[in-house]
Amino acid sequence: MSKYYVNKFLFTVDRDPEYLKRYIEDPKSFVATWEQSIGPKLNDAERSTVNSLTDAEREALVNHDYVALFEMGAHFFLNLTMYIGIYDEPYMTRSGPLSFQREFAAKLQHWRDKDYPSVET
């Protein structure tokens, strides 16, 4: 498990309109590109060799599966804000304000009154 690397995915994509667009349009191909050339990047000259996603993490990211990411202990703020960036507008148009946020909460109801997975990395 690499909670840090999952968070790095969420962090790098949420903050970059071009990456976000590619992740919306073709998540499978974008996640592959991210693992190959974006995730390892430390700066324009340096690359890290030490991190990788597990199969379950890759699958959750490819499927926009924020429930699985929550359960893996991805940081709640990054997990929410990036998927709001993807789904808020279409949900708003279809079902009104906060409809995506409420669906997000509804899908996590089985965690109510339980200790959530730790976000500590």
Partner 1 sequence: MAQLVATLASTHHPFYLKATTMPPEQQMPQAPEWKRKVEAYRETLAKTKPDILVMIGSDHFHQIFLDNCPQFLIGKAPRYDATFYNEEREFGIPKYVLEGDEAMSRFMHQHLMDQDFDFAFSNELKIDHSIICPIITVRPQNDLPVVPIYTNIFAPPLPSPRRFYNLGRAIRKAIDDYPSDSRVAAIGTGHLSLELGGPRQFMETGPDPVFDRQAIEWLRNGDIEAILDNVTHESMIKSGNATQGFLNFILMLGVAGPENADYVDNLDLFHTMEAYFTWYPKEQAA
Binding site for partner 1 (CB under 8 A): 4, 7-8, 11, 14-17, 66, 70, 75-81, 84-85, 88, 98, 101-102, 104-105, 108-112, 116, 118-121
Residues 22-48 as b/e (b if ≥16 CB within 10 A, e otherwise) read bbeeebeebbeebbeebbbeeeeeeee
Residue length of the chain: 121
- For residue 2, the minimal CB distance to partner 1 (Å) is 11
Q: Which is nearer to partner 1, 29 or 77 (CB)?
A: 77
Q: Which is nearer to partner 1, 28 or 51 (CB)?
A: 51
Tokens representing residue 34 in the block: 């991210």
Q: Which is nearer to partner 1, 17 or 90 (CB)?
A: 17
- Rounded Cα distance, 13 and 5, in Å: 12
